[in-house]
Structures are given as structure tokens and as C-alpha cells.
Chain A
């Protein structure tokens, strides 16, 4: 695979967000390694996903359940479907280990989720832990830190 540059990493993050906005969920899930987690902490600067509750701490099995549910005939909370929109700041490389093929990229974002007449805006930071796997970048951990992670929320049905 060609050398990973800052642009390659940023393009990956942009492409990932676009898959979510276009609801290409199967394609999106394929970006994750089998041992990957999608983590949305409940507490500011949370370190422990195991003994402290999170909004989401999902392995690929749970992500698959979520994606299949979104398409289900009897998923009434998605009739009609939600839509989402990612507005990303330019991703920044937090660390990069070319020898190991491991890269950490942080991206500030505004995320909007809408359904029927309701539209909700969220702000936060996404941190992608990416690993070069089989000639491509794959996600080992996507951590989404919301500005107001400990606030009371209504439904959040899609992925940030």
C-alpha cells in the first residue's frame, strides 16, 4: 500500500462521515476491524468503558444489530427514517507510527440528526484509532466525545 499521508488519513475520515450521511451502513461497518469498538462516553474525559456506563460502547456484533434494525420492517421508530449530517473540521493527526501502521486522528464536528419535524444539533470531537490492515486503513476504535455528554437527551438513533 502507498505511504500513509496526512491527506490519506483526512480523506478516510471524510469518507467515513459521508457513508453515514448517505446511510451506506454495510459499507461503513466494513471499515471496522473485527475487534473494533465504537465508543461514545457518558462522562467527560471518561477512561473506563467497562465499569462506567457509556452512551455507546459497541463491538461489531452490536453495530451489526443496530444496522440491521435500522432497516427492519417493524422498526417503528424509523418510520419515517432519521437523517443525519456531519460537518467536520479538518482532521488533525494526534499520533502516527508508520512502522506499526497505527494512526490516531482527531476531528471536531457538528452533527445534526433529524426526523419528522424535530432536528437536533450535537457538537463534539471524534477520535479515530486507525490501523493499516490488509493494505487498507481500518478502524480499531472510534471514540466520540460530545461537548454535553452528560446532558439529558432525547433519542439519538444514528451514528455520529
Chain B
């Protein structure tokens, strides 16, 4: 018997004002419904346009658990297609990326499709005459995702035809992407430095929650960042502070720092930590960069761009962006208890290489499967995935600094340890998962 399918009221009841039911993280049926509804009703990040710079370039990925291919079409627009031949179901685009020329050709029976998915040719076409083929689904070619939006080269899509527009869905939260792009003297980013792929045996939402969880760094990361600080303190006086220590040390900032840096909560589950300050605010200057930014934007504007040092911005449901260190983390759901975390980095086009070097080092130290910080976090997620199965308690607590007046309010700036962002994520979750039921 289905507990949640066709029962939106039961789903809404899982999200209370200040607690969330454990089933949202451990129930396999709810995971299926998330993929069918939430990941189809929300705008989902697909990839970056710099991954497909030329016509025919493609990149394969997933939206929720749907296999898709992002491709640069012959009219130079970026398209997103379901990666499935309409004939026998074979994934048409192979490997991770490549160039397919003017059309996709299925490797099984050589059916071909234009890069917008429309049918081009079928060998021995005569064999389909008078078969009713023209009224078959297959005659329409590869299915294209109806809604694709390229925002400053970030490619998003919405699988369902209806729903909020891209602008209405993300609203003011797009300012974080703006800030990251504006940090390039040329106003442009490129994917660079490789992608780290880290498998997590936990629900995807644990990672999303963690991004704005400012009460865990000084506890869970005492072992890694705390040790880094201690080892560094043993270095002889006058030793220049290594880049790695500069990246690690702020994780050990006290509660007060995280309270004061603030959190901003937008609508639809989007929000960011680090409003007035952040762990990325005190990085040392990169020679030549400031001059480039002043030349590109003028001094006042350059100061404004570089002075906005937001920490983690969650774009609900499943990415997090760090503007000051040019990183995007994508939490790809695989199963209710399995998530692939991809950590991408960007080059600020026109800026000194040293910025990419720092970004690449940050990604390696913090987001790799070999990262000591990653080990700290994953241990907690996996223990939670196991612990939540307990009959002893049914709810996850998100009451920290809850205020009954907060509901329905948007663009709030509040104490950096407020769990309002987590509450808003789950309110958005309940809304978008039930919207199309």
C-alpha cells in the first residue's frame, strides 16, 4: 500500500513549523515522488555553457534521476534533451562529453536526430510506410526538455511544461551568480580545474542542509581544520602563512563569528550564509587582480563586487554556489540513501591564474573524497542516515531561532545560526513535491 503517493496531505504533514519528519530522508517512496514531482517542478541546474562552447558539443548528466544531454544546437542555443533513443531506448549520447557534429546518431540502428531532438533520418525508411509510424511516439524524435534557461552561462531546466518562470523561481537569489560572474574582469566564467566526484551514502537533502548549518564547523571539523591550525601554530615565527592554512583556518571560527556573519533567506528555499562577513572574507590579495577589476568596473563597483563575500548560497533544491571561491557543488540524487556530490570550479576569465590555483586547492582540500573535511561531514551524514531509522524518535529538529512571524516573509537577514533557511527549504520541498499531484 502506498503511504504517500496520491496523498499530498500526508506529505504536507511531514513538514511542521519547527520539525521535519524522518521519512523525508529515509522513505524510498518519497524519494520516487521527489524525482517525479519536486525535480520536475523546480528549476534544476544542468551545467555551464562553457562546457559546450561549439555547435555540436554535448555533455551528459542527470536532472534528478533523468539522464539528459546538454548540447549546443546549430542555432547556437543550448538545448537539453532526454538521452534516450525513441526507437529502442538506447542512450544516444555516449561518454561524458564530446562533439556530435550536426546531428546525433544512435549507435544501435543509426536513427539520426538534429541537435534539438527532431528526427532526421531512419535507415530503410520505406519499412515504416503504412505502419501507422507517423502516429507513434517515436516519430517525434528525441524528447526535448521544454524549459531551458541560460543565465549568465549557467544552464537550468524545468522538466514539467508548467510552473513558475525561471525569474519568479529564483528571484533575488540570482545575485550570487551575478557576483561570481562579475568577479571576472571580462564578465565571464569558464569551467576549469576538473570535477571532483564524491559518493555519499546518505539522502541528498542532508548535504543541502549542511550548506547553511553554521553550528557544525567548529564541532565536526575540529579534527581537520582544528588540527591544521594547531600544526601551523607550531611553525617557527615569521614563516609565511601557506594558502592551505588560510583556507582551513576560518572553519575554526567561534560561534559568535557565524552568528554575526548572518544569513539571508529568500523565497522558494533559496538562501545564503555570510551576509556581512564570511570564512572567505580574509583571503590574501592576488597581485594584479584589483587593478584589473578597477579597469573593468571602476573603483567603487570593483569594491562592491569584491566586498560581497557570501559564504554558501543554496539554490533549492540541489546546488550550492560560492562566489568568492568560484565553486559550485551539485548534489545529484541517486537513491533515497545515495547521493553523488560533484564539486565544480570556475576560472574567472581574464583574472590571474593564482585565483584558479586557490579555487582548485580549496576544492581539493574541502570537497575531495580524500578531503579530511569531507571525511568529517560524511561520517555525520552516514550516521544520521542510519540513526534516523530508529523508532525512538520520529522528527528532525529545525527549531533554532524559529519565529512564528517568519512564515511567508522573504528576503530576511537574520542571525547566522538561524535554521530558518533549513525550514524554508522544507517548506519549498512540501510545496513543489505536491504541486503536480
A pairs with B: yes
Could you list which residues of chain A lie within 8 angstroms of chain B, going by C-beta atoms? 40, 42-43, 50-57, 59, 61-62, 64-66, 68-69, 72, 74-77, 150-157
Give the shortest distance, in Å, between B225 (CB) and chain A (any CB).
Answer: 9
Give the shortest distance, in Å, between B177 (CB) and chain A (any CB).
Answer: 21
* Total A-B pairs, Cβ < 8 A: 103
Contact of B356 (CB < 8 Å), options: A51, A66, A68: A51
Closest to B332 in A: A152
Contact of A156 (CB < 8 Å), options: B222, B353, B369: B369
Interface string of B342-386 (1 = CB under 8 A from A): 000100000001001100100111001110101110111000000
Which chain A residues lie closer than 8 Å to B242 at the CB level? 59, 61
Known: A61-B244, A77-B376, A155-B378. A53 touches B222 (CB 8 A): no
Q: 8 other contacts beyond A40-B370, A51-B357, A76-B376, with CB at 8 A cut-off?
A: A53-B194, A72-B227, A74-B223, A75-B376, A76-B223, A152-B198, A153-B369, A155-B374
Interface size class of B (residues with CB under 8 A): 35 or more
Q: Is the interface of B mostly helix, strand, loop or mixed?
A: helix
Which chain A residues lie closer than 8 Å to B224 at the CB level? 65, 69
Known: A65-B224, A65-B231, A77-B379. A155 touches B369 (CB 8 A): yes
Known: A50-B357, A53-B345, A55-B364. A152 touches B374 (CB 8 A): no
CB pair A65 B228 closer than 8 Å: yes
A72 to B222, CA, bound (A): 9
CB pair B223 A75 closer than 8 Å: yes
CB pair B379 A76 closer than 8 Å: yes
Known: A50-B357, A51-B356. A65 touches B372 (CB 8 A): yes
CB pair A51 B360 closer than 8 Å: yes
Known: A61-B231, A152-B340. A69 touches B372 (CB 8 A): yes
CB pair B199 A154 closer than 8 Å: yes
Closest to B375 in A: A77
Known: A52-B193, A55-B369, A76-B379. A153 touches B353 (CB 8 A): no
Within 8 Å of chain A (Cβ to Cβ): is B301?
Answer: no
